[in-house]
Structure 1
């Protein structure tokens, strides 16, 4: 049962804790099923998709067979050219391979003379492959029998070449049947998403004024579970990612190399100093950030976000999530709405890895001269990356850790789109048409540089569509293309038809 709380300015949960306790002032809950299903019919295009489905599947296979591992610069230029060539073949009047300080991007424009314009974001790069795949070659584009049905198993199958090429298949089917599109399209593709998108700004910079005139931006993505359920996130947290390093020097500790461990009686330890510096930033249990001011900039839930939170809480299943993640409980025994609010509105401070000295088998008694940790912090809307970095540096200095080096590796702000944006309403209407009414969250607790759309371009941004896949960044990555009996997630034909519907639904949507 949901209880109504009074929403007030954030107050510390306890006298010693800087964490605000956000409260919810309404029992009202957002219900995606209340949005009318999209009712348009495009039977000629649907029939074209059904007739050409084998050729459409071959297009997905062609994309995943082209290697494009950004971390290794393996096949990147060839994949960028493949994307550009495919846009030209579809009939995009303007296509450019955009050079950046890193891997190239691709820009495409299809001018349909329509009233509405959609920006489509794509990433053409993939992760390196692991050794323990069930198939011999993760770039062979094999169709594999799976418990869920027939799947395309390959690196990039679901992340994100498969759904992106499925979207272009849908575009092609419309063009083949009607000779034009219901909306104008821009495609902006990058080859460095798996590297943190350091140069995506350079891809869109030459076209900023044109892109800002669009009505929204969309990222084709498989977000269905095998049971057909959908979780639609309307944004992401921001992030900073950095290294902290303690190294021996004037403050103490060995400066050039490790020394014998027996010297600890007289020599400072960089490893212990790093541990103490990190420990100073949180409470003893690691769950409350003690960097002064870190929570202050986080804004409270808006009225709309409170309704979205209540909608999520009504369908929350903490036990199932905990089982999926292999954990026995949430922090402080939180459940339901409290856990949702904490997950969405709390900044985090997390150690990704920490290393120093000897970590091999057996014994080696040394006092290491250097210790390093990789740390990330997820930033809810309101907490900006520059401010987060500044506060962490100021805290370390104030605590006497001026010698601890802080190396910035990445950072970008949060992104969020309102649920009443026409593009969001159109997307939910399409999901509802396919009996996949989504759980809608104000944002994802993870991070991606989607601020480039919501902030740089000022556009509503939707990422997600019908379709199921799994194994991103892992062995045996797959995208479901022909579901087995009883599996409710969409297959390739239904995925493509839903993309057709989305383009028409946006073209018909009412303005703000």
Structure 2
């Protein structure tokens, strides 16, 4: 790790001054107009026979949700995966899907299903059948028992997967089953594409789609059943997601300096380079001293500025955004730079991030152990707004490290995919908003979510408009006490299971009536 004196002197100066480094962009807004979801006509259709069937079948429908969450399917541990993928495929066959195919991948298998209703409109429904591991501090004894719990909001299904995403997905299939039982068919043809690795970053989802990719591209849109209502009933409809790169940086001793075989006594630091300090310096070079501005040349330049249509969405969001409430829910005191309102929304949605997820080296146990570790590793992620592509991000990070004299730092990509977004005026989005309006669930519509998911597979690989969301409320994804609200208490505005299922019936009909066949 021996560097020239000039590089050693120059690098810290560049990090401190930001010379030749990317600067945070400014996005002037050209309109103060606001998108108003209330102007979208409420879906006016009535399907009373199906609604009545749903009401009569609520006990059976709750049992179906319980059956799904009781089947373990922790992708990270390969716990119950085979049983869950079989359960999903068998359920599609039982519903009358004429084609159901298990797709083997280098990881967990996927499922493809097709129901041919002979309809002019076709919808692709995305599902994930895997869940996160469970934590030890749940209020119930077994998060896979599928318990019904009395909650301050009403009766909830408390279980791993209840909200994310087995609950809403099985509720969608309950709605499909109800339509078939009453009407004998569906208003749209349905594809189901399901993966078991969403919680692992969807590394093989492309392989799941591959056998039917050309067929899927002929559909009219794609949909992901989700619970997007708050307890008050307001819906947060996101029209896309940021992309992501997730990677490891590693410093290791070798001929360039530092111990190469194992840790050594800490007293040798006077003579030996330290990989852990080397890694810290490399990571520090990626951002400003406060960690809040990415200092990788070109990193901000690739981001696509807000369009006028997207500005109207942001303007509407800014009217009643409650920064303080969100901060309280996260346990933080302030946003970076004291931002609030529209500025905070734009920063969150349009700027790439750079974040350390974990960093480790050497001894971290109790007491003392004075060593000089031979290797140090960190996991980092960067969220990518539309315009900044994963390959370009990795190339810029590598070039930045090399230019700073960190050629020895290993950059190990673990995952990466681009952003995805759908315009608010597409028929699928308008149909969804119209259904929300029918049920009095005002939709706050955002251009995309600041989080990431592999939805580019729909918007880019398949070239389809994509909506993820639906009525219903849940909480606790990836954490303890995860739940889906089934029967709301008096005064709770969010939909219960029966209304959730009825809204899916309406959505399929609304899409059939309003979509423009391709």
CA distance in 2, matches of 1:180, 1:17: 56
> Partner of 1:113 in structure 2?
118
Equivalent position SS for 1:476: coil
The reply to whether residue 161 of structure 1 matches residue 159 of structure 2 is no
Higher deviation after alignment, 357-366 or 184-193? 357-366
User: How big is the shift at 1:443?
Assistant: 0.4
The reply to whether residue 315 of structure 1 matches residue 351 of structure 2 is no
Structure 2: gaps spanning 5 or more residues: 1-17
CA distance in 2, matches of 1:82, 1:332: 49
User: How big is the shift at 1:510?
Assistant: 5.0
What is the 5 A alignment of 1:180-219? 180-219=185-224
What is the 5 A alignment of 1:222-371? 222-371=227-376
Show CA shifts across 1:4-52 (max 9, x none).
xxxxxxxxx9997622111101010111111111110000000000011
Show CA shifts across 1:266-293 (max 9, x none).
2111111111101111111111111111
> Partner of 1:178 in structure 2?
183
> Partner of 1:393 in structure 2?
398
Equivalent position SS for 1:222: coil
CA distance in 2, matches of 1:136, 1:292: 51
What is the 5 A alignment of 1:349-428? 349-428=354-433
User: How big is the shift at 1:440?
Assistant: 0.5
Choose from 70, 75, 78 the match for 1:73: 78
Equivalent position SS for 2:502: helix
Show CA shifts across 1:124-157 (max 9, x none).
1111122222222211111111111111111111
Higher deviation after alignment, 239-248 or 15-24? 15-24
- 8 A contact 2:239–2:424 mirrored in 1: yes
CA distance in 2, matches of 1:509, 1:351: 45
In structure 2, do the counterparts of structure 1 residues 110 and 278 end up closer, same or farther at CA, with 3 Å as the change threshold?
Answer: same
> Partner of 1:220 in structure 2?
225
Equivalent position SS for 2:329: helix
CA distance in 2, matches of 1:335, 1:134: 35
User: How big is the shift at 1:511?
Assistant: 2.7
Higher deviation after alignment, 433-442 or 15-24? 15-24
Equivalent position SS for 1:286: coil
CA distance in 2, matches of 1:498, 1:418: 22
The reply to whether residue 32 of structure 1 matches residue 59 of structure 2 is no
> Partner of 1:122 in structure 2?
127
Show CA shifts across 1:452-505 (max 9, x none).
000000001000111111111112211110111111111000000000000000
Show CA shifts across 1:155-185 (max 9, x none).
1111111100000000011111111101110
Structure 1: gaps spanning 5 or more residues: 1-12
> Partner of 1:41 in structure 2?
46
- 8 A contact 2:75–2:200 mirrored in 1: yes
Structural RMSD (CA): 1.4
Equivalent position SS for 1:221: coil
CA distance in 1, matches of 2:355, 2:91: 41
> Partner of 1:3 in structure 2?
none
> Partner of 1:99 in structure 2?
104
CA distance in 2, matches of 1:266, 1:103: 48
User: How big is the shift at 1:326?
Assistant: 1.3
In structure 2, do the counterparts of structure 1 residues 82 and 15 end up closer, same or farther at CA, with 3 Å as the change threshold?
Answer: closer
CA distance in 2, matches of 1:289, 1:140: 45
CA distance in 1, matches of 2:297, 2:197: 34
CA distance in 1, matches of 2:429, 2:509: 14
Higher deviation after alignment, 145-154 or 250-259? 250-259
- 8 A contact 2:21–2:296 mirrored in 1: no
- 8 A contact 2:22–2:300 mirrored in 1: no
Show CA shifts across 1:264-322 (max 9, x none).
11211111111110111111111111111111111110111111111111121111111
Higher deviation after alignment, 316-325 or 418-427? 316-325
The reply to whether residue 150 of structure 1 matches residue 149 of structure 2 is no
Show structure 1 runs of 4+ deviating over 4 A.
13-17
Show CA shifts across 1:76-116 (max 9, x none).
11111111111111111111111112111111111111111
> Partner of 2:12 in structure 1?
none
